[in-house]
Structure 1
Amino acid sequence: MSEVKPIPDGYEGVTPYLICRNADAAIDFYKRAFGAEELYRVGEPGKVGHAEIKIGKAIIMLADEFPPMAMSPESIGGSPVSLYIYVEDVDGFTEKAIAEGLEVIKPVSDQFYGDRSGHFKDPFGHLWGFATHVEDISPEELGERAKAGHG
């Protein structure tokens, strides 16, 4: 009998858990817009109790809202949290996602900290940052750029 790992493979870092008003629709959107792979979903008909998707190497958990414990951004008036994911081609990735209904908050552009990135809101109220790293910058150079007003 093999020993159970206390931290499963693929879950070594922070695993976001998104609460959605309609998790079935959110999963379908993430598959179309972000190329997400659905790992599984469980629950009763019309209600997702728990689901997991993978975007790149990032695993994201989702469920329908279950008031008052788990409320969606739509129910609480927005989200203070943004998920930031690196992708190979941020322009192509976000162009496809925008065509599927992703709302642009800040268009993709080159940033002083070495990323080409943009910020977005999905139809379920969750905030996303997508980026492609385009320049390696030392902490010292980053500090200088920030002081020079490039932030």
Structure 2
Amino acid sequence: MENENQGPASGVAAHLTIRDGRGTEAVKFYEQAFGAKEHMHHMADDGKRLMHSHLSINGGSLMLNDDFPEYRDGGDVRPPAGITLHLQVPDADAAWQRAVDAGAKVVFPLEDQFWGDRYGQVEDPFGFTWSIGGPKKE
């Protein structure tokens, strides 16, 4: 169960840190590419950086914020290697085309896979990998 004002009531939600002050841009990209709905948007006191956004995509929660190097060691924050955000959808082709049209870069082409899904991977403009899967078309 989700409380629109406070985020997920339980479970695991991805929380992305966006580099270069592009958090609000990321929200707009996820809305366009993945049909995200934003439930909460808080700017930092500087009025320039996104402190927190809570989105829902395909029934799941995604949280994100701009990078705040002053609150950690000051080094560059990078998307972690080996992390893929997965979207399981009824129509992988439509979801795929929407993401690519929005500016996602193809990493692994969308194709029929041996396990029964159409599946592929894209990279968003912020360096995060997303996989998209859905049933094969008959």
With the length of structure 2 as denominator, give the TM-score of the two structures: 0.81
1:68-147 alignment to 2 at 5 Å?
69=72, 75-76=76-77, 78-80=79-81, 81-134=83-136
Q: 2:123 is matched by which residue type in structure 1?
A: K
Kindly indicate which of the two structures has a greater share of residues assigned to helix.
Answer: 1
Q: Residue 49 of structure 1 aligns to a residue in which SS?
A: strand
Count of matched residue positions in the alignment of Structure 1 and Structure 2: 126
1:50-93 deviations in Å (ceiling 9; x for gaps) = 1111111011000001126399xxx4555311111101111111
- Corresponding residue SS for 1:108: strand
Which amino acid is 2:80 matched to?
A: S
Describe the shift of the 1:9–1:26 C-alpha distance in structure 2 as closer, same or farther (beyond 3 A): closer
Q: CA deviation at 1:133?
A: 3.5
5+ residue gaps, structure 2: 1-5
TM-score, normalised to structure 1, is: 0.74
Structure 2 Cα separation of the partners of residues 28 and 9 of structure 1: 19
Higher gyration radius (CA): 1
Q: Distance in 1 between matches of 2:72 and 2:29?
A: 24
More strand by share: 2
CA distance in 1, matches of 2:73, 2:42: 17
Query: Identical aligned pairs, as a percentage?
Result: 31
